[in-house]
C-alpha cells in the first residue's frame, strides 16, 4: 500500500510524525505492506516552491493508494489572494484525488465525558457520523469572484443529481452498518439546490428500505446537535453545511484535536484530523495527536480494508484515555497526567502494539 504523507503547516508535522509511527507499528504487526514518502503542501510548499500544491506533490498523491495530511494554513500568508493561500492547496488536493464523501465521526468517549461543553446527561451516548459532500456547492461552483470595482463579491452554489446521488449512497450504506437512521440536512425552504438535494435523497432512500430517513433544515440540525445529539446516527449534507456542522459536532467532544476524518469515493483516499494548523501552539510539543492517529485507524479500515488493525489503534486510544493520560487541550483541572505530543504518541503506539499482537494472534489461529 503506497501512502503519501503531507505534514503541512503549524502542528501538522508534529501530529503526523506520531500518526505515521503508529501506522508503521500496527501495519508491521498485521503484515500490511506500507510504502510511504513525504511531500510539501500549504504554507510549507509556498515557502519552498511558491505554490501551495506543487506539481511534484500532486503527482505523488495521485499515484498513491492513500494520502495522510497533517494540517494546512498559516497567518503568514493572509495577505495573499485566496487562490494563492495555503488553504487553496487543500482544495486542489481534494479535487485531484476525486474524493466526494467526507466522513467525520463524533462520539462521546467515556473517559472524556466531562470535557464536553454539554452536560453529561445530554452528551453521554452520542455516536454520530457526518457525511459531507466535498466537491460541490459554494466552494467549487462557478462563477465566483469580485466585480471590477471590488465593491461586490459573488459565489455560486451548484449541485447536480449525480453529485447528490453518489454521496447519498455512501451515507445510506454507512447507516446500514450503524443504527440505520439517516438525517439529511438542507435549506429547502429557501434554496433551489436544497430542494434538488431533498428530492434526490428521498428518491435514493427507496433503495434502502431498512434505513429510516428524516429531513432537517440546517438551522434546526445545528440546534439539535447541542440540545439532543444522541438523536443522530448518520447526518448527510452538502459542502458548506457539512463544514460548519462537523466542526460544531467536533467541539461537543471536548476538543477538535480528538477527531479524525476520511475522504473517500475517488481514486485515492484522503485522511486528516479535523483540527486546523493551530500556529499559536506549533513547535511547543503540546498539540493533541489523537485526531491524526485516529485518522490512521480510518485509513486501515477504508483503504487497507483491515478492521482488526483499525480496532487495534482505536482500542489503544481508548486505553490511554482510560488510564488518565491527557494532552493539555483535554486535561481536567488538576489533572496530574498531562503529557506532551511526543509522549502521547509514544503511549498510543505502545498500546496499539499490545492490542495488535493480541488481535493478530487471534486472527492467525
Spatial contact of 359 and 312, defined as CB atoms under 8 Å apart = yes
Domain positions in the chain: 1-106+256-365, 117-252
pLDDT, position 153: 95
pLDDT, position 365: 36
Cell of 151: 465593491
Summarize pLDDT for 148-173 with one digit per residue, the tens: 999 999 999 999 999 999 999 999 99
pLDDT, position 359: 56
Is the pLDDT at 254 greater than 80? The verdict is no
- Kindly list the distances between the CA atom of residue 268 and the CA atoms of 96, 132, 190, 263, in Å, as whole numbers in the listed order: 9, 17, 35, 9
pLDDT, position 78: 87
DSSP-assigned states of every residue in 91-151:
HHHHHHHT--EEEEEEE--GGGGGGSSS-HHHHTT-EEEEEEE-SSGGGT-SS-EE-TTSS
Alpha carbon of residue 39 to chain centroid:
20
pLDDT, position 358: 64
Cell of 50: 511558491
Summarize pLDDT for 307-329 with one digit per residue, the tens: 999 999 999 999 999 999 999 98
Alpha carbon of residue 94 to chain centroid:
12
Is the pLDDT at 142 greater than 50? The verdict is yes
Is the pLDDT at 199 greater than 70? The verdict is yes
Summarize pLDDT for 92-111 with one digit per residue, the tens: 998 899 999 999 999 988 88
Tell me what percent of the residues of the chain surpass a pLDDT of 70. 97
What is the third-level CATH fold of 117-252? Isopropylmalate Dehydrogenase (3.40.718)
- List the end-to-end C-alpha distance of the chain, in Å, as a whole number: 25
Q: Which residue has the higher pLDDT, 265 or 357?
A: 265
Q: What is the mean pLDDT of residues 127-135?
A: 95
Indicate the pLDDT class of residue 196, thresholds 50, 70 and 90: very high
Q: What is the mean pLDDT of residues 285-294?
A: 96
Closest CA to 73 of 60, 82, 63, 62: 82
Q: What is the mean pLDDT of residues 167-190?
A: 97
pLDDT, position 356: 73
Q: Tell me which residues are annotated as active site.
A: 139, 187, 219, 243, 247
User: Which pTM value belongs to this model?
Assistant: 0.87
Spatial contact of 116 and 258, defined as CB atoms under 8 Å apart = no
Q: Which residue is it, cell 499490545?
A: 354
Is the pLDDT at 338 greater than 60? The verdict is yes
Is the bond into 143 cis (omega within 30 degrees of 0)? yes
User: Do the two domains 1-106+256-365 and 117-252 of this chain adopt the same fold?
Assistant: yes
Spatial contact of 100 and 270, defined as CB atoms under 8 Å apart = no
Domain 1-106+256-365 belongs in CATH node 3.40.1190.10:
no
Torsion of CA 161, 267, 177, 126, to 10 degrees: -90
Number of H helices, E strands in the chain: 12, 12
Amino acid at each position: 500500500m503506497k501512502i503519501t504523507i503531507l505534514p503541512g503547516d503549524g502542528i501538522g508535522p508534529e501530529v503526523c510524525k506520531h500518526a505515521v509511527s503508529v501506522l508503521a507499528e500496527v501495519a508491521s504487526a498485521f503484515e500490511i505492506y506500507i510504502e510511504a514518502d513525504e511531500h510539501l503542501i500549504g504554507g510549507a510548499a509556498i515557502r519552498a516552491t511558491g505554490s501551495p500544491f506543487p506539481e511534484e506533490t500532486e503527482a505523488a498523491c495521485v499515484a498513491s493508494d492513500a494520502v495522510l495530511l497533517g494540517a494546512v494554513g498559516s497567518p503568514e500568508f493572509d495577505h495573499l489572494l485566496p487562490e494563492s493561500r495555503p488553504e487553496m492547496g487543500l482544495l486542489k488536493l481534494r479535487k485531484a484525488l476525486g474524493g466526494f464523501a467526507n466522513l467525520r465521526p463524533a462520539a462521546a468517549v467515556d473517559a472524556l465525558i466531562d470535557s464536553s461543553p454539554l452536560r453529561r446527561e445530554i452528551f453521554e451516548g452520542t455516536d454520530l457520523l457526518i457525511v459531507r459532500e466535498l466537491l460541490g456547492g459554494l466552494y467549487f461552483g462557478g462563477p465566483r469572484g469580485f466585480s471590477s470595482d471590488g465593491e461586490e463579491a459573488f459565489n455560486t452554489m451548484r449541485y447536480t443529481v449525480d453529485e447528490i446521488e453518489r454521496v447519498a449512497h455512501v451515507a445510506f450504506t454507512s447507516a446500514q452498518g450503524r443504527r440505520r437512521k439517516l438525517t439529511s440536512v438542507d435549506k429547502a425552504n429557501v434554496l433551489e439546490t436544497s430542494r434538488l438535494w431533498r428530492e434526490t435523497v428521498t428518491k435514493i432512500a427507496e433503495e434502502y428500505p431498512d434505513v429510516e430517513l428524516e429531513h432537517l433544515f440546517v438551522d434546526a440540525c445545528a440546534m439539535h446537535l447541542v440540545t439532543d445529539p444522541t438523536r443522530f446516527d448518520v447526518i448527510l449534507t452538502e459542502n458548506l453545511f457539512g463544514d460548519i456542522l462537523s466542526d460544531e459536532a467536533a467541539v461537543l467532544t471536548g476538543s477538535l484535536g480528538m477527531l479524525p476524518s476520511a475522504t473517500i469515493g475517488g481514486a485515492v483516499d484522503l485522511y486528516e484530523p479535523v483540527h486546523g494548523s493551530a500556529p499559536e501552539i506549533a513547535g511547543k510539543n503540546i498539540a493533541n495527536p489523537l485526531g491524526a492517529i485516529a485518522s490512521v485507524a480510518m485509513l486501515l479500515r477504508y483503504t487497507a480494508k483491515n478492521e482488526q488493525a483499525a480496532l487495534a489503534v482505536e482500542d489503544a486510544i481508548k486505553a490511554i484515555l482510560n488510564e488518565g493520560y491527557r494532552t493539555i487541550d483535554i486535561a481536567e483541572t488538576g489533572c496530574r497526567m498531562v503529557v506532551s505530543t511526543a509522549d502521547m504518541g509514544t503511549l498510543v503506539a505502545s498500546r496499539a502494539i499490545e492490542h495488535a499482537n493480541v488481535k493478530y494472534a487471534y486472527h492467525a489461529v
